[in-house]
Chains A and B, each alone.
Chain A
Amino acid sequence: MAETNKVIMLGNEAIARGAYEAGVKVSAAYPGTPSTEISEYLVQYKDSLYCEWSPNEKVATEVAVGASLAGTRAMACMKHVGFNVAADPAYSVSYMGVNGGLVIVVADDPGLYSSQNEQDTRMVARAAKLPVLEPSDSAEAKEYMKLAFALSEKFDRPFVYRTTTRLAHSQGIVELADRQEIPDKEYIKNIQKTVMMPVNAKMRHVEIEKRNSELAQAADTLSINRVEMNDTKVGVITSGIPYQYVKEAMPEASVLKLGMVNPLPRKLIEEFAAQVEKLYIVEELDPVIEEQVKSWGIEAVGKEIFTVQGEYSANMLREAVLKEELSIKEPAKAPGRPPILCPGCPHRSVYHVLNKLKLHAAGDIGCYTLGAVAPLSVVDTTMCMGSSISTLHGMEKAKGKEYIKDWVAVIGDSTFLHTGVNSLMNMTYNHATGTVLILDNSTTGMTGHQDHAATGKTLQGDPTYAIDIPALCRSLGVKNVAEVNAFDIEALEKTVKEELKKDEVSVIITKSPCVLLSKAKKPLYAAHTDKCKKCGMCMKPGCPAMTKNGDGTVRIDDTMCTGCGLCESLCKFGAIELVKEGDR
């Protein structure tokens, strides 16, 4: 018997609950803000389903496709840029269709809270001819998951389930239900449907266009595409989180709230447009609904007055649509507070050495991206997962091996296993000489500490084989593989200098676990103002636990210090001392 009570749930938690209730049997994902917590919440149901961290989103999607073909409900979860990595299987499984229901959950990040671009997944899904559902709160997040699987099976289409940061990381009330026990579908061999060689794919293309147009017709009467008729002076077509802003700012307006945003319910939209005097289309990011609606000859106002950047808000609508003069106070002048490496972060120590050696770094995606900004200022490039190594390689091929003697590539352990490993393979294959630093902190850090293929533990918490990263590098043909403690700055400096001299590929693995992983009692350092010569050496790495007193001497915040000892190793005057022993 399920609990019938209402509970408060994060959007991502509600998605996980929806998957559970929908009878999902297999889920695969790679962590990525704002999608990560879906898998972390899903794992509580591991007695009823299987879930895993895959090394990347392409693998995750293929795992889900396999599970669907085998006849069970399956899903893959990722952030928007992860969907690019998964694009290859996504575009083709669109042609293949499903056996058990298949849902790809993709989380967009309007406002770029934790991403490298602001792409709109609806555009990608349209290009792949995949239908898309989009919920607007936690309650819908759960219900739409169940609907997505039902529709996927009914129309033989994989579904994209689009969320945004605000939906994923907002909490709302959800009513729990029992898990549906969905019998597995029988697997029947049918190569016309599952082997996408040209002759079959040609036929499948015809078939899926037919299915999509049937789906578009069904969309006209789908309950999640809902008209809320009020005052007919103003009508709004909207979906997802922007729907909430519309309800907040314009409770009198008539609203067509779309739960399925691809394909669009054309007849429903035409009827709604005919009933209202002025029609607005309110959608964050790209004008996906707007361009289609306008292409049908319907007059509407959209991106003429709304931005394609960032998040919307009720105040934005009050100003843009209602022309209200809001008496909003100017914010006070306050210095910014950008994200930074945590006190005790092993990346700080590595970057301090690279900065001292005046090196450039081709960077990657992770906490260590933060090494781009002052005072560390080491990272020159950040583009996408795994790109550091191949970017460095391209530089060498353009300008020769001498040109990259003051360059390294830096990449984290999880990112290396995601897509960096292919790039390293390319280096040994194509006669490269560059130096790659793998900053191994034994976790996927930025997204909140998820296990990966080299941590020895699965998402479900089971011990497993841990990939030996040094051995993996050697197996790819890297002859120079060095391992250094990230906090041993002397050894690290010496190793980096030596490896840069070599005319062969080198990999330096800097080892030290993420400081947030360890629950051990931390040591504590303190500064002696009487011995401090105000030289500023200890301040160079930019540790947030260190501040300057009015007289230029240094103070260590005892609530922030994690006892990494980097400042002590930089002080030549013995002014920084260990005052409390820790467990390590």
Chain B
Amino acid sequence: MATKNIMIVGVGGQGTLLTSRVLGGLATLGGYDVKLSEVHGMAQRGGSVVTFVRYGEKVAEPIVEEGQADVIIAFERLEALRYAHFLKKDGALIVNDWRIDPMPVVIGAAEYPEGILKTLEKEHKVYVVNATEESKKLGNPRVFNLIVLGIAAQHMDFTREQWYEVIEKTVPPKTVEINKKAFDVGYQL
């Protein structure tokens, strides 16, 4: 199998680290060699953050470079736009239809781009969900990232049982059920 390249992009504090751990756990469960690369420290304070996940027979570098991503999971629209050029031709872009204004926009020094989804759809296979709203319906807006992962799961090579197993091992014990529910919402979309 050719090495699979996944990226998770979002805003610091949105839970990209937890998501990457789920993906890392899956790849290990599948018996693959796997490398992940994360961002800690200052950038996590509301900055643009990107996490790379690579798995396959043998993985050397831990990062995904421009034009190489099979799947990009974007937790926010502007971040989807920022990293879309990392996608391979035919790569899948999964976007949480949510807006978080960066500080230059908040203070009026920049405009939040209009029509991001339309722009992206011109060039890429884009799958959109308003996971933040969906997760509020489940009673916990924090689990939106599992809904997005559920959609990503449709583009990856693992069974639902494998996803469940890793979710159980990765998320805090008290939140296993709601996270599995959130995953199902995305998986069935």
Chain A residues with a Cβ under 8 A of chain B: 6-8, 10, 33-34, 36-37, 113-114, 137, 166, 169-173, 241, 244-245, 247-248, 313-315, 326-342, 367, 370, 373-375, 446-448, 539, 542, 544, 546-547, 557, 559-560
Contacts and interface: CB of A to CB of B under 8 A. Distances in A.
Interface stretch (B37-45, B147-155, B157-165, B177-185): B37-45
A315 B67 CA distance: 10
B82 A332 contact: yes
25 contacts: A6-B28, A7-B28, A8-B27, A114-B42, A169-B38, A169-B40, A171-B24, A171-B38, A241-B62, A245-B61, A326-B66, A332-B81, A335-B104, A335-B113, A340-B46, A340-B103, A342-B46, A373-B103, A374-B103, A446-B41, A448-B41, A542-B103, A544-B106, A546-B106, A559-B132
B113 to A, nearest CB: 7
Contact of B85 (A113, A313, A314, A330): A330
A313 B106 contact: no
A335 B45 contact: no
A335 B45 CA distance: 17
B112 interface: yes
B109 interface: yes
Contacts of A34: 40-41
A10 B24 CA distance: 11
Nearest to A341: B45
- Of all A-B residue pairs in the complex, the 3 with the closest CB atoms, nearest first, are A114-B41, A33-B41, A339-B47
A77 B113 CA distance: 43
Contacts of B113: 333-335
A339 B47 CA distance: 4
DSSP majority for the A interface?
loop
B25 to A, nearest CB: 7
A114 B43 contact: yes
B57 interface: no
Given A170-B35, A173-B34, A336 B65 contact: no
A113 B65 contact: no
A542 B106 contact: yes
Given A8-B28, A169-B39, A244-B60, A328 B132 contact: no
Contact of B106 (A33, A328, A547): A547
Contacts of B97: none
Given A8-B25, A172-B34, A334-B113, A342 B45 contact: yes
Interface in B56-70: 59-63, 65-67
Given A247-B60, A335-B78, A547-B106, 12 more contacts: A7-B28, A33-B42, A36-B40, A170-B35, A326-B67, A327-B67, A332-B119, A338-B104, A339-B12, A339-B42, A370-B45, A374-B107
B72 interface: no
Contact of B101 (A10, A248, A327, A544): A544
Contacts, number: 170
A27 B85 CA distance: 44
B144 to A, nearest CB: 9
A169 B85 CA distance: 24
Contacts of B134: none
Contacts of A544: 46, 100-101, 103, 106
Contacts of A114: 40-43
Interface string B119-144: 10000000000001000100001000
DSSP majority for the B interface?
mixed
A184 to B, nearest CB: 35
Nearest to B82: A334
A337 B85 contact: no
B34 to A, nearest CB: 6
A114 B83 CA distance: 21
B43 A335 contact: no
B11 interface: yes
Contacts of B35: 137, 170-172
Contacts of A332: 81-82, 84-85, 119
Contacts of B44: 339
A373 B107 CA distance: 11
Given A169-B38, A171-B34, A539 B106 contact: yes
A314 B65 contact: yes
Most buried by B among A10, A172, A247, A328: A172
Given A342-B13, A542-B103, A544-B101, A8 B34 contact: yes
Nearest to A345: B45
A166 B40 contact: no
A2 B62 CA distance: 28
B45 A446 contact: yes
Contacts of A546: 106
Contacts of B33: 173
Contacts of B132: 559
B8 interface: no
A337 B41 contact: no
Contacts of A315: 65-66
A8 B36 CA distance: 9
Nearest to B43: A339
Interface string B1-25: 0000000000111000000000011
A321 to B, nearest CB: 15
B34 A335 contact: no
A545 to B, nearest CB: 9
A427 B112 CA distance: 47
Contacts of B39: 113, 169
Contact of B102 (A37, A335, A447, A559): A335
A338 B106 CA distance: 12
Contacts of A336: 48, 102, 104, 110
Nearest to B105: A335
Contacts of B61: 244-245, 247-248, 313-314
